[in-house]
């Protein structure tokens, strides 16, 4: 069973930055679209960013566009989420996920095949 492994979450002050990483050992990584989701208490899980197999196409939710950057390194089987200018509304558990799809903007969490365990991001005001 493939397990995605996230790291990089933590507590940061508003205006600060964090970089999340998600390693995918054992996955045919370049065959998968990768996404970062987040889920705040009492809210649905939402797609924050996604990237196609070679990094040539990316998607961002409007709430993070211009502040977050998704990237991937297929040689390392790893996807990243650089988060800048964080604000308290970004506080959530962040998950990476993988899906085999011909299209890279897949908002339905149930369409993803593999998930990480989640990493907490807390932004203080």
**pLDDT attached to residue 69:** 98
**pLDDT attached to residue 38:** 98
- Per-residue pLDDT tens over the stretch 5-14: 999 999 999 9
Cβ-count burial 37-65 (b if 16+ within 10 Å, e if not): bbeeeeeebebbbbbbbeeeebbbbeebe
Mean of pLDDT over the chain = 96
1: confidence class by pLDDT, cuts 50, 70, 90 = confident
Answer yes or no: are the C-beta atoms of 79 and 27 closer than 8 Å: no
* Dist. CA 6–CA 118, nearest whole Å: 7
């Amino acid at each position: 069973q493939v397990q995605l492994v996230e790291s990089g979450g933590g507590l940061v002050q508003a205006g600060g930055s964090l970089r999340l990483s998600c390693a995918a050992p054992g996955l045919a990584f370049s065959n998968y679209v990768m996404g970062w989701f987040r889920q705040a208490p009492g809210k649905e899980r939402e797609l924050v960013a996604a990237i196609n197999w070679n990094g040539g196409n990316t998607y961002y939710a409007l709430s993070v566009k211009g502040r977050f950057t998704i990237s991937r390194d297929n040689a390392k089987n790893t996807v990243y989420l650089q988060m800048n200018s964080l604000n308290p509304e970004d506080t959530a558990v962040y998950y990476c996920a993988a899906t085999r799809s011909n299209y890279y903007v897949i908002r339905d969490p149930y369409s993803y095949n593999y998930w990480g365990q989640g990493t907490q991001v807390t932004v203080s005001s």
